Amino acid sequence: MDLELLCKNACSTKVFLGKLSTGKKNSVLLSVADALCKNAETIIAANAIDLENGKKNNMSEGLLDRLMLNEARIEDIAVGLKKVADLPDPIGEVLEMTRRPNGMTIGKKRVPMGVIGIIYEARPNVTSDAFGLCFKTGNAVILKGGSDAINSNKAIVQVIRQALVENDIPADALQLIESTDRETTTKFMRMNQYVDLLIPRGSAGLIKATVENATIPVIETGTGNCHIYVDKSADLDMALKILVNAKTQRIGVCNACESLVIHKDIINEFLPKAVEALKPFNVDIRGDESAVAVCSDINKATDEDFYKEYLDYIISVKTVETIDEAILHINEHNTKHSETIVTNDYNSSNKFLDEVDAACVYVNASTRFTDGFEFGFGAEIGISTQKLHARGPMGLKELTTSKYIIYGNGQIRE
Amino acid sequence: MDLELLCKNACSTKVFLGKLSTGKKNSVLLSVADALCKNAETIIAANAIDLENGKKNNMSEGLLDRLMLNEARIEDIAVGLKKVADLPDPIGEVLEMTRRPNGMTIGKKRVPMGVIGIIYEARPNVTSDAFGLCFKTGNAVILKGGSDAINSNKAIVQVIRQALVENDIPADALQLIESTDRETTTKFMRMNQYVDLLIPRGSAGLIKATVENATIPVIETGTGNCHIYVDKSADLDMALKILVNAKTQRIGVCNACESLVIHKDIINEFLPKAVEALKPFNVDIRGDESAVAVCSDINKATDEDFYKEYLDYIISVKTVETIDEAILHINEHNTKHSETIVTNDYNSSNKFLDEVDAACVYVNASTRFTDGFEFGFGAEIGISTQKLHARGPMGLKELTTSKYIIYGNGQIRE
Q: According to the model, what pLDDT value does residue A127 have?
A: 95
Q: What is the C-alpha to C-alpha distance for residues A246 and A329, in angstroms, rounded to an integer?
A: 19
* CATH number of the domain enclosing A243: 3.40.309.10
pLDDT tens sequence for chain B (414 residues): 799 999 999 999 999 999 999 999 999 999 999 999 999 999 999 999 999 999 999 999 888 998 999 999 999 999 999 999 999 999 999 988 999 999 999 999 999 999 999 999 878 999 999 999 999 999 999 999 999 999 999 999 999 999 999 999 999 999 999 998 889 999 999 999 999 999 998 888 888 999 999 999 999 887 899 999 999 999 999 999 999 999 999 998 999 999 999 999 999 999 999 999 999 999 999 999 999 999 999 999 999 999 999 999 999 999 999 999 999 999 999 999 999 999 999 999 999 999 999 999 999 999 999 999 999 999 899 999 999 999 999 999 999 999 999 999 999 999
Strand order in the sheet with B299-300: A94-99, A105-112, A400-411, B360-365, B338-342, B226-230, B257-263, B314-320, B284-287, B299-300
From the CA of B42, how many Å to the nearest CA of chain A? 36
Nearest to B388 among A217, A235, A392 (CB): A217
Nearest to B212 among A215, A217, A238 (CB): A215
Residue A88: how many other CB atoms lie within 10 Å: 10
Residues with Cβ < 8 Å from B62, sequence gap 6 or more? B252
- Chain B residues with CB under 8 Å of A345 CB are none
Q: Is residue A414 part of a domain?
A: no
In terms of domains, do A27 and A164 share one? yes
From the CA of B375, how many Å to the nearest CA of chain A? 7
In terms of domains, do B236 and B122 share one? no
How remote is the C-alpha of A28 from its chain's centroid?
25
If you average pLDDT over residues A82-110, what whole number do you get? 96
Q: According to the model, what pLDDT value does residue A149 have?
A: 95
Nearest to A376 among B100, B389, B401 (CB): B100
In terms of domains, do B47 and B128 share one? yes
Q: Is residue A351 part of a domain?
A: yes
Does residue A1 surpass a pLDDT of 90? no
Residues with Cβ < 8 Å from B96, sequence gap 6 or more? B107, B108
User: Cβ contact (<8 Å) for A355 and B19?
Assistant: yes
Q: Express each pLDDT in A143-152 by its tens digit.
A: 999 999 999 9
**Phi, psi dihedrals of residue B346, rounded to the nearest 5°:** -60, -50
Mutate to test the interface with B, among A337, A412, A414 (most CBs of B within 10 A): A412
Tell the burial category of A299 from Cβ atoms under 10 Å away from its Cβ (0-12, 13-18, 19+). Answer: middle
From the CA of B218, how many Å to the nearest CA of chain A? 8
- Chain A residues with CB under 8 Å of B230 CB are none
Q: According to the model, what pLDDT value does residue B222 have?
A: 78
In terms of domains, do A285 and A399 share one? no
In terms of domains, do A282 and A235 share one? yes
- Chain A residues with CB under 8 Å of B358 CB are 403
* CATH number of the domain enclosing B67: 3.40.605.10
Across chain A, which distance is largest between two alpha carbons, in Å? 80
Chain A with chain B: Cβ pairs closer than 8 A: 189
Nearest to B391 among A370, A401, A406 (CB): A401
Q: Is residue A384 part of a domain?
A: no
Q: According to the model, what pLDDT value does residue B261 have?
A: 98
* Single-letter amino acid code for the residue at A203: S
User: Cβ contact (<8 Å) for B113 and A212?
Assistant: no
Q: Is residue B384 part of a domain?
A: no
Query: What per-residue string of b and e applies to A326-365 under the rule 16 or more CB within 10 Å gives b?
Result: bbebbbebbbbbbbbbbbeeeebbebbbbbbbbbbbbbbb
User: Cβ contact (<8 Å) for A241 and B192?
Assistant: no
Q: What is the C-alpha to C-alpha distance for residues B261 and B162, in angstroms, rounded to an integer?
A: 53
In terms of domains, do B75 and B165 share one? yes
User: Cβ contact (<8 Å) for A197 and B401?
Assistant: no
User: Cβ contact (<8 Å) for B366 and A412?
Assistant: yes
Query: Among candidates A179, A170, A112, A114, which has minimal Cα distance to A145?
Result: A179
User: Cβ contact (<8 Å) for A361 and B196?
Assistant: no
Angle at A234 between CA A233 and CA A235, to 5 degrees: 125
Q: What is the C-alpha to C-alpha distance for residues B134 and B319, in angstroms, rounded to an integer?
A: 45
Q: According to the model, what pLDDT value does residue B204 have?
A: 84
If you average pLDDT over residues A225-247, what whole number do you get? 98
DSSP output for B259-327? EEEEEHHHHHHHHHHHHHHHGGGT-EEEE-HHHHHH-TTSEEPPTGGGG----SSEEEEEEESSHHHHH
Nearest to B411 among A19, A365, A388 (CB): A365
Torsion sign, CA atoms A207, A211, A217, A220? positive
Q: According to the model, what pLDDT value does residue A100 have?
A: 96
If you average pLDDT over residues A24-46, what whole number do you get? 98
Q: According to the model, what pLDDT value does residue A223 have?
A: 87
User: Cβ contact (<8 Å) for B403 and A217?
Assistant: no
Q: According to the model, what pLDDT value does residue A156 have?
A: 98
Q: According to the model, what pLDDT value does residue A135 have?
A: 98
Nearest to B360 among A368, A376, A404 (CB): A404
What is the number of H-type helices and E-type strands within chain A? Answer: 15, 16
**Phi, psi dihedrals of residue A149, rounded to the nearest 5°:** -115, 20
Q: Is residue A375 part of a domain?
A: no
Q: Express each pLDDT in A371-387 by its tens digit.
A: 999 999 998 999 999 99
Q: According to the model, what pLDDT value does residue A180 have?
A: 82
Asked whether the beta carbons of A174 and A163 are under 8 A apart, the reply is no
Does residue A62 surpass a pLDDT of 90? no
Torsion sign, CA atoms A25, A28, A34, A38? negative
Residue of A nearest to B19 (CA): A354
What's the CA dihedral at A288, A290, A294, A297 to 10 degrees?
Answer: 20
Asked whether the beta carbons of B244 and B256 are under 8 A apart, the reply is no
Q: According to the model, what pLDDT value does residue B29 have?
A: 98
In terms of domains, do A256 and A316 share one? yes
Asked whether the beta carbons of B102 and B413 are under 8 A apart, the reply is no
Q: What is the C-alpha to C-alpha distance for residues B133 and B90, in angstroms, rounded to an integer?
A: 11
DSSP output for A162-205? HHHHHTT--GGGEEE----SHHHHHHHHT-TTT-SEEEEES-HH
In terms of domains, do A188 and A242 share one? no
Q: Is residue A382 part of a domain?
A: no
Nearest to B404 among A249, A359, A405 (CB): A359
Angle at B77 between CA B74 and CA B80, to 5 degrees: 155
**Phi, psi dihedrals of residue B322, rounded to the nearest 5°:** -145, 165
Confidence of residue A245 (pLDDT cuts 50, 70, 90): very high
In terms of domains, do A331 and A274 share one? yes
Q: According to the model, what pLDDT value does residue B70 have?
A: 97
- Chain B residues with CB under 8 Å of A218 CB are 217
Q: Is residue B374 part of a domain?
A: no
Mutate to test the interface with B, among A97, A244, A369 (most CBs of B within 10 A): A369
Nearest to A245 among B104, B389, B412 (CB): B412
Q: According to the model, what pLDDT value does residue A204 have?
A: 84
Tell the burial category of B13 from Cβ atoms under 10 Å away from its Cβ (0-12, 13-18, 19+). Answer: buried
User: Cβ contact (<8 Å) for A411 and B212?
Assistant: no
In terms of domains, do A67 and A116 share one? yes
Plot region of B364 (φ>0 → left; ψ -120 to 50 → alpha; else → beta): left
**How many domains does one find in chain B?**
2
Q: What is the C-alpha to C-alpha distance for residues A114 and A132, in angstroms, rounded to an integer?
A: 15
Angle at A51 between CA A47 and CA A56, to 5 degrees: 150
User: Cβ contact (<8 Å) for B413 and A369?
Assistant: yes
According to DSSP, the residues that pair with A310 across neighbouring strands are: none
From the CA of B149, how many Å to the nearest CA of chain A? 29
Residues with Cβ < 8 Å from A394, sequence gap 6 or more? A219, A221, A372, A380, A381, A382, A383, A384
In terms of domains, do A204 and A252 share one? no
Query: What per-residue string of b and e applies to A169-200 under the rule 16 or more CB within 10 Å gives b?
Result: bbbbbbbbbebeeeeebebbbebbebbbbbbb
From the CA of A244, how many Å to the nearest CA of chain B? 9
According to DSSP, the residues that pair with B316 across neighbouring strands are: B259, B286
Q: Is residue B412 part of a domain?
A: no
**Coil, helix or strand at residue B183:** helix
Does residue A304 surpass a pLDDT of 80? yes
User: Cβ contact (<8 Å) for A411 and B197?
Assistant: no
Query: Among candidates A171, A180, A65, which has minimal Cα distance to A124?
Result: A65
Tell the burial category of A381 from Cβ atoms under 10 Å away from its Cβ (0-12, 13-18, 19+). Answer: buried
Domain with A263 in it:
226-369
Residues with Cβ < 8 Å from A8, sequence gap 6 or more? A194
Query: What per-residue string of b and e applies to B275-289 under the rule 16 or more CB within 10 Å gives b?
Result: bebbeeeebebbbbe
How many CA atoms does the CB half-sphere of B62 hold within 13 Å?
A: 3
Strand ranges (DSSP E) for A253-325?
257-263, 284-287, 299-300, 314-320
Q: What is the C-alpha to C-alpha distance for residues A243 and A241, in angstroms, rounded to an integer?
A: 6
Asked whether the beta carbons of B230 and B342 are under 8 A apart, the reply is yes
Mutate to test the interface with B, among A406, A407, A409, A414 (most CBs of B within 10 A): A406
Asked whether the beta carbons of A242 and A368 are under 8 A apart, the reply is no
Q: So what's the ipTM on this one?
A: 0.94
Distance from the first to the final alpha carbon of chain B = 52
User: Cβ contact (<8 Å) for B406 and A359?
Assistant: no
Nearest to B405 among A192, A353, A409 (CB): A353
- Chain A residues with CB under 8 Å of B246 CB are 412
- Chain A residues with CB under 8 Å of B401 CB are 387-388, 391
Query: Among candidates B96, B106, B46, B36, which has minimal Cα distance to B72?
Result: B36
Nearest to B369 among A353, A401, A406 (CB): A406
- Chain B residues with CB under 8 Å of A362 CB are 406, 408
In terms of domains, do B279 and B304 share one? yes
